[in-house]
Amino acid sequence: MTETNISPIILNCDNVVGQFRGPFGIIQPVNGISLKIHPGEVVALAGESGCGKSTFGELITGSPRKILHFISGTIKILDFDVYRTDPEILRTEVKAKIIAYVPQASLESLNPVKRIKHFILDVVKQRTGKIGNKNEVYQMARDHFKRLGLKGNIIDRYPHELSGGMKQRAVLAISTLFNPKLLIVDEPTSALDVSSQQLLIKMLYEMLEAKIITSILFISHDIATLRQICTKAVIMYAGDIVEEGSMDEIIENPLHPYTEALIASFVAFNPDDTRTKLKSIPGAPPDFRDIPQGCRYHPRCPEMMAICKSEAPPIFNLQEKGRIVKCWLYKDKNV
Ligand SMILES: Nc1ncnc2c1ncn2[C@@H]1O[C@H](COP(=O)(O)OP(=O)(O)O)[C@@H](O)[C@H]1O
Ligand code: SF4
Ligand SMILES: [Mg+2]
């Protein structure tokens, strides 16, 4: 393969550590995460609530809330080393143009007293530093909305005039105005009913097909939703990535005992089946202020061995399957 045939990695995270620091002390929900996303990949970041998914997503943006600190590691977005790049360049060159981030509970980001189009003006100004001709911005937004199967006149509405599903799709449309390569969406379907979830997934597919975006990092606790669109799955437990592989392999043959329990907790995978529910996994995730020694999953793990209590497993690469798993059970299969 020649140099020009090698696709650039859009997102390359290496050993990222992130901490919340406040009156409650220090907690570290991102505990050395490495993750690569290539063009064309639709990656699921899955795991129970509280395992650190949103914290990691926020760190990727390079401008986390004050309470959240990037401690160490590297996050590269194409050639931009996020925490070693001038914030102004990050704002104008990287955000919106290369990555777009739609945080959890993003519906609340729409100001109730502003029409959608005025919100769009704010976004364009923030990302480009100027607006120029407002009518041109509105027309550009209308055309973009229409390309995504939404009515152009939605931009003239107030948020309260739109349903939850439509608001969420409007937020996604606004986030992709500049055709970002990577779209990071955090629990975008959680607040929606089943039919609105389907419309949102369809919209993501259409964005990929129309090459408005090239890759997605889809953060969710909901395996049933992730399975509908993701090609690769990354499973997080208590701040660590514990398994990674193709979505199909992870669902059909989960290796890590936690992944197995997570998959089994979904009684059905049919997205049209409203009985699809998350059953609880036995035990509870650890408190980040009191992380168990050894493997973080050992107090809940049915396969626990003596070593698991004292030594944290490293990541084992199972080359024959193109998968990684952080569990002592796979020590002899490491390549
Ligand atoms: N603002 C905050 N201050 C302190 N701790 C927080 C804050 N936000 C999240 N956390 C803690 O960080 C951990 C990971 O949270 P989060 O990344 O939101 O998990 P997930 O998205 O997987 O549900 C949780 O234990 C949560 O309580
Ligand atoms: S390392 Fe041990 S405790 Fe941890 S998941 Fe594997 S078998 Fe279970
Ligand atoms: Mg979250």
pLDDT (mean) for 181-202? 95
Residue 126's pLDDT is what?
A: 85
H or E element at residue 325: strand 323-325
Among protein residues, the one whose CA lies closest to atom 9 of ligand 1 = 55
**Gap between the Cα atoms of 226 and 248, Å rounded:** 11
Q: Select from 55, 235, 262 the residue to mutate for testing ligand 1; criterion: most ligand atoms less than 8 Å from CB.
A: 55
pLDDT tier at 13 (50, 70, 90 boundaries)? Answer: very high
CA distances to 42, 224, 239 from 302, rounded to whole Å, are: 31, 24, 20
Cα 187 from Cα 103, distance rounded (Å): 8
Q: 218: CA distance to ligand 1 center in Å?
A: 17
The per-residue pLDDT for range 174-187, each reduced to its tens digit, is 999 999 999 999 99
Domain ranges for the chain: 7-333
- Looking at all shown ligands, the one closest to residue 58's CA atom is 1
The closest of 232, 282, 223 to 257, measured between CA atoms, is 282
d(CA 216, CA 90): 19
First vs last C-alpha separation in the chain: 24
pTM assigned to the model: 0.94
Residues by chain with Cβ below 5 Å of ion ligand 3: 54, 104
Ligand 1 pocket (Cβ < 6 Å) reads 20, 22, 27, 29, 47, 49-55, 67, 288
As a whole number, the mean pLDDT across the chain is: 92
Q: Parallel, antiparallel, or unpaired for β 80-81 and 215-220?
A: unpaired
The whole-number pLDDT of residue 273 equals 59
Buried b (16+ CB within 10 A) or exposed e, 281-316: eeeebbebeeebebbbbbebbeebeeebeeebbebb
pLDDT given at position 2: 40
**CATH 3.40.190.10 is the classification of domain 7-333:** no
Structure confidence at residue 4 (pLDDT): 44
pLDDT at 269 over 80: no
* DSSP E strand boundaries for 53-141: 68-77, 80-81, 99-102
Instruction: Quickly tell me which residue has 């890759």 as its tokens.
Output: 215
Distance (angstroms) between ligand 1 centre and the Cα of 82 equals: 22
Q: Is the pLDDT of residue 34 over 80?
A: yes
> What is the percentage of the chain residues whose pLDDT exceeds 90?
83
Secondary-structure breakdown of the chain: helix, strand, coil percentages, each rounded to the nearest 5: 40, 25, 40
| Binding pocket residue ranges, ligand 2, CB within 6 Å | 256-257, 295, 297-298, 301, 303-305, 308, 313, 327-329
